[in-house]
Amino acid sequence: MRESNSLSRCALAALVLLVGSALSAPADETTANSATAPRATEPDADSPASSPMTAAPTTAAPMPAPAETAPAASDEPAEADLPWLDDYATGLKAAEAAGRPLVILYHNPADEARTARFERETLHAGAVRDLLDHCTLAKLPQDYRIKAGGEEFELLKHASFAQLAGRVGLAVVDTVHRDSPQFRHVVAALPMTDTPPSQDALVAMLEKYVPEDVLAKLAALEWHEDYGEAIKKAERERRMLFIYFRNEARDAEQEQFERETLSNVRVRRKLGRFVLARLTRSTEIKVQDQPVKLIDHASFSTMYGRQGIAIVDTTEPQSRNFRQVVSAFPFSPRRRYDARRLGVILDLPRGTLTQRTLVYAVRTHPEAPASADGALNEMLAEEAESHSQYQADIDNQGHHNWGNRFQRISARLPGGMVAVEVCAESWPGEELVDAAEECVHSWRQSSGHWGAVSARQPFFGYDMKLGSRAVWYATGIFGGH
Give 329's contacts (C-beta < 8 A, 6+ positions apart). Answer: 308, 309, 310, 337, 345, 433
pLDDT tens for each residue of 23-81: 222 233 333 444 666 554 433 333 322 222 222 323 332 222 223 333 333 343 445 68
Coil, helix or strand at residue 166: coil
* Residues 329 and 317 sit within 8 Å (Cβ to Cβ): no
Nearest to 460 by CA among 441, 437, 476: 476
Distance CA 177, CA 100 (A): 9
Domain residue spans in the chain?
9-63+247-275+288-300+331-480, 88-210
Distance CA 391, CA 473 (A): 7
How large is the average pLDDT for residues 91-116?
90
Q: In what order do the strands lie in the sheet with 284-287?
A: 41-42, 284-287, 290-293
* Residues 371 and 456 sit within 8 Å (Cβ to Cβ): yes
Banded model confidence at residue 416, pLDDT cuts 50, 70, 90: confident
Q: Within 10 Å of residue 435's Cβ, how many Cβ atoms?
A: 27
Distance CA 102, CA 91 (A): 7
* Residues 308 and 300 sit within 8 Å (Cβ to Cβ): no
**pTM for the full predicted model:** 0.64
Distance CA 281, CA 331 (A): 13
Per-residue model confidence (pLDDT) at position 119: 85
pLDDT tens for each residue of 255-283: 999 988 998 888 988 898 899 999 999 99
> Candidates 3.40.50.720, 3.60.10.10, 3.40.30.10, 3.10.180.10; correct CATH number of 88-210?
3.40.30.10
* Residues 478 and 452 sit within 8 Å (Cβ to Cβ): yes
- pLDDT at position 419 over 90: yes
* Residues 28 and 467 sit within 8 Å (Cβ to Cβ): yes
Per-residue model confidence (pLDDT) at position 408: 95
Proportion of the chain above pLDDT 90, given as a percent = 54
Q: Within 10 Å of residue 43's Cβ, how many Cβ atoms?
A: 16
Distance CA 123, CA 135 (A): 12
Residues 117-143 as b/e (b if ≥16 CB within 10 A, e otherwise) read bbbbebbbbbbbbbbbebbbbbbbbbe
Widest CA span of the chain, in angstroms? 81
What number of CA atoms fall less than 13 Å from residue 336's CA on the CB side?
13
Distance CA 165, CA 147 (A): 20
Left, alpha or beta for 268 (phi > 0: left; psi -120 to 50: alpha)? alpha
Q: Report the range of poorest mean pLDDT among 108-112, 351-355, 397-401, 434-438.
A: 108-112
- pLDDT at position 184 over 90: no
Q: Give the bridge partners for 191, in sequence order.
A: 169
Q: Within 10 Å of residue 459's Cβ, how many Cβ atoms?
A: 26
* Residues 136 and 86 sit within 8 Å (Cβ to Cβ): no
> Candidates 3.10.20.440, 2.30.30.100, 3.40.33.10, 3.40.190.10; correct CATH number of 9-63+247-275+288-300+331-480?
3.40.33.10
| Cβ contacts of 331-338, under 8 Å, gap ≥ 24 | 331/253, 331/257, 331/306, 331/307, 332/306, 332/431, 332/433, 332/434, 334/434, 335/433, 336/256, 337/257, 337/261, 337/308, 337/309, 338/260, 338/261
Q: Please state the length of the chain.
A: 481
Per-residue model confidence (pLDDT) at position 35: 61
- pLDDT at position 7 over 80: no
Proportion of the chain above pLDDT 70, given as a percent = 83
Give 38's contacts (C-beta < 8 A, 6+ positions apart). Answer: 52, 53, 285, 287, 292, 294, 297, 299
- pLDDT at position 476 over 60: yes
* Number of helices followed by number of strands (H, E) in the chain: 15, 18
Give 252's contacts (C-beta < 8 A, 6+ positions apart). Answer: none
Give 306's contacts (C-beta < 8 A, 6+ positions apart). Answer: 245, 281, 330, 331, 332
Higher pLDDT, 285 or 266: 285
Q: Give the bridge partners for 311, in sequence order.
A: 242, 327
Higher pLDDT, 1 or 422: 422
Coil, helix or strand at residue 464: strand
